[in-house]
Amino acid sequence: MLKQRYQRYLITIENLYKVLITVIGLIFFLHLCACSFIAIGHIATTDQLNTTQWIERSGIQFGQYRQIYVTALYFTTTTITTIGYGDYSGVTVVEKLFIIFLLFAGILCFTLI
């Protein structure tokens, strides 16, 4: 009986460890995507004269780094989880291509989980 309790406890710890590793990996992936989206938002494109990057379009000043990061993290989280509220979107071609990558990455990520 003691051996069965130990085995159940061990299985519970292993499952908790797997969930923890998955959540940490997902948070790290979302952080990388948010930082990439910020970097892409700072790229100036010359092929589209009438459009601005998502940072300028959302009304966030360039000095507000926390607000930019939280907004990018919010956007990447809603995009990867395929919720997509539509309040933020890509404007330039590079941003739209990155969003397409995010959509496929989200599908792949949650298929593997």
Residue ranges per structural domain of the chain? 2-112
Q: Looking at the whole model, is its pTM more than 0.85?
A: no
The whole-number average pLDDT for the span 79-90 is: 85
**99-113, pLDDT tens digit by residue?**
999 999 999 988 887
| Planar angle of CA 93, 50, 75, nearest 5 degrees | 45
d(CA 38, CA 11): 41
> What separation in angstroms does the CA of 36 have from each of 33, 73, 94, 98?
5, 10, 11, 9
Residues 6+ apart with CB under 8 A from 48: 91, 92, 93
The pLDDT value given to residue 41: 82
Q: What is the pLDDT of residue 69?
A: 93
The reported pLDDT for the residue numbered 98 is 92
Q: What confidence tens digit (pLDDT) does each residue in 18-69 have?
A: 889 999 999 999 999 999 998 888 775 555 555 557 877 788 776 788 998 9
Which band of pLDDT confidence, cut at 50, 70 and 90, is reported for residue 76? Answer: very high
Cβ(102)–Cβ(54) under 8 Å? no
User: What 3-state DSSP class applies to 86?
Assistant: coil
The pLDDT assigned to 87 comes to 85
CATH number of 2-112: 1.10.287.70
The H-assigned helical ranges of the chain are 2-41, 54-57, 65-80, 93-112
Q: Higher-confidence residue: 79 or 61?
A: 79
> What's the CA gap between 110 and 16, in Å, rounded?
18
